[in-house]
C-alpha cells in the first residue's frame, strides 16, 4: 500500500465549479500535512499547509481528519489558472522527510 | 527570498557517462538539502537527504555508489549520476531547508530533466 494515496483524476471542470480532492495516508504517526501544486514539467510549489482545525486561504479550503487519516482540498470558483496537478504531501516522522502522493490532475475549461 | 536554483535545467548524455547536477540556495543557508526523482505521471520520490559536512542518508533502494551526493557548503549540494543508463532518465529535483529538526518548509529548485541515450 502506498504511503499517500490520491485519485489520479483527471478532473475536468468548467470555470466557476467547485471541486474536491481527497487523499489518505498510511502512517498514523505523520505530523504535518500539505497540499502542493505542480505545473507540467515544473517543480512543486506549496499551496497550503493543512491543520487539524481546517484552514482556508481564499478559494482553497483544506481539512484533516487524523482519525480517518484523510486529507481534503476544496477549490471554489475554479479558474483556468487552477489547472495543474495537486499533490498531497505528508511529513512522516522527524527530520523534514516529505512523502508525496502521485497527484490529482485538474483541468479547468472555459 | 528562499530561492533554490539547479543547474543544468536539462541534460542529454550518452549511456555510461556521468552527470553532475548542482543545487544552490541563493539567499539562505541550507542546513539540509533533499534530492528527489520523478518519473512521468508518478510522484516525487525522495532519494536522499544531505546535511552540510556529513554523509548523505539514502532511501531504501537508492544506490549510494551510483548517485553520489556531496553537500560541501551551506549553499551547495551536488548529485552525480555515475555511469548513467536510459532507465536513469528522469526529472531530478532538489529542495533545501534552513534548519534541521522540527519541520521547516522545503524550498524546491526548478528541477533538472535528464535524458540518457
Question: Residue A11 pairs with which residues in a beta bridge?
Answer: A106
CB contact under 8 A, A99 and B46: yes
3-state secondary structure of B62: coil
Q: Note the pLDDT tens digit of each residue in A44-61.
A: 999 999 988 889 999 999
Closest CB to A43: pick one of B101, B102, B108. Answer: B108
pLDDT bracket for residue A91 (50, 70, 90): confident
Q: Note the pLDDT tens digit of each residue in B10-58.
A: 999 999 999 999 999 998 888 889 999 999 888 899 999 998 888 899 9
Q: Could you give the CA distance from residue A82 to residue B3 in angstroms, rounded to a whole number?
A: 23
* Test mutation, B62, B103, B112, B114, chain A, max A CBs within 10 A: B103
CB contact under 8 A, A95 and B101: yes
- Secondary structure string (H, E, C) spanning A58-91: CCEEEEEECCCCEEEEEECCCCHHHCEEEEEEEE
Whether the ω angle into residue B8 lies within 30 degrees of 0, i.e. cis, is: yes
pLDDT tops 80 at residue A96: no
Higher pLDDT, B79 or A94: B79
pLDDT recorded at residue B101:
54
Mean pLDDT of A21-27: 94
Closest CB to A98: pick one of B41, B42, B46. Answer: B46
pLDDT tops 60 at residue B88: yes
Q: How far apart are the first and last CA of chain B?
A: 37
Three cell numbers written together for B19 = 552527470
Mean pLDDT of A69-90: 96
Mean pLDDT of B90-117: 86
Rounded to an integer, what is the distance from CA A28 to the centroid of its chain? Answer: 18
B75 touches A at CB < 8 Å: no
Q: Which residues of A38-48 are buried (b: 16+ CB within 10 A; e: fewer)?
A: beeeebbeebb
pLDDT tops 80 at residue A92: no
Q: Could you give the CA distance from residue A43 to residue A62 in angstroms, rounded to a whole number?
A: 21
Calculate the alpha carbon distances from A66 to A50, A53, B70 in Å.
11, 11, 37
Q: Could you give the CA distance from residue A21 to residue B75 in angstroms, rounded to a whole number?
A: 36
Mean pLDDT of B102-106: 70
pLDDT recorded at residue A110:
95
pLDDT recorded at residue B18:
97
pLDDT recorded at residue B95:
94
Higher pLDDT, A21 or B72: A21
pLDDT bracket for residue A106 (50, 70, 90): very high
Residues within 8 A of B (CB atoms), A 33-92 only: 41-46, 87, 91
A95 touches B at CB < 8 Å: yes
The DSSP code for B59 is P
| Average of per-residue pLDDT values in chain A | 92
Three cell numbers written together for B85 = 543508463
Amino acid at each position: 500500500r502506498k504511503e499517500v494515496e490520491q485519485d489520479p483524476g483527471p478532473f475536468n471542470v468548467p470555470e466557476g465549479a467547485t471541486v474536491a480532492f481527497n487523499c489518505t495516508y498510511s502512517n498514523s504517526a505523520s505530523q504535518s500535512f500539505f497540499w502542493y501544486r505542480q505545473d507540467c514539467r515544473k517543480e512543486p510549489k506549496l499551496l497550503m499547509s493543512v491543520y487539524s482545525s481546517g484552514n482556508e486561504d481564499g478559494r482553497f479550503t483544506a481539512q484533516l481528519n487524523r482519525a480517518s487519516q484523510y486529507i481534503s482540498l476544496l477549490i471554489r470558483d475554479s479558474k483556468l489558472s487552477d489547472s495543474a496537478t495537486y499533490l498531497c504531501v505528508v511529513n512522516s516522522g522527524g527530520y523534514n522527510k516529505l512523502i508525496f502522493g502521485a497527484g490529482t490532475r485538474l483541468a479547468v475549461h472555459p | 527570498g528562499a530561492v533554490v536554483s539547479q543547474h543544468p535545467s536539462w541534460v542529454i548524455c550518452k549511456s555510461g557517462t556521468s552527470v553532475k547536477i548542482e543545487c544552490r540556495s541563493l539567499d539562505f543557508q541550507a542546513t539540509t538539502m533533499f534530492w528527489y526523482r520523478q518519473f512521468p505521471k508518478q510522484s516525487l520520490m525522495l532519494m536522499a537527504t544531505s546535511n552540510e559536512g556529513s554523509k548523505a542518508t539514502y532511501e531504501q533502494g537508492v544506490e549510494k555508489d551510483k548517485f553520489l551526493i556531496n553537500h560541501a557548503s551551506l549553499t551547495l549540494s551536488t548529485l552525480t549520476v555515475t555511469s548513467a543508463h536510459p532507465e536513469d532518465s528522469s526529472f531530478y529535483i532538489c529542495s533545501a531547508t534552513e534548519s534541521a529538526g522540527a519541520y521547516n518548509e522545503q524550498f524546491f529548485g526548478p528541477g533538472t530533466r535528464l535524458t540518457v541515450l
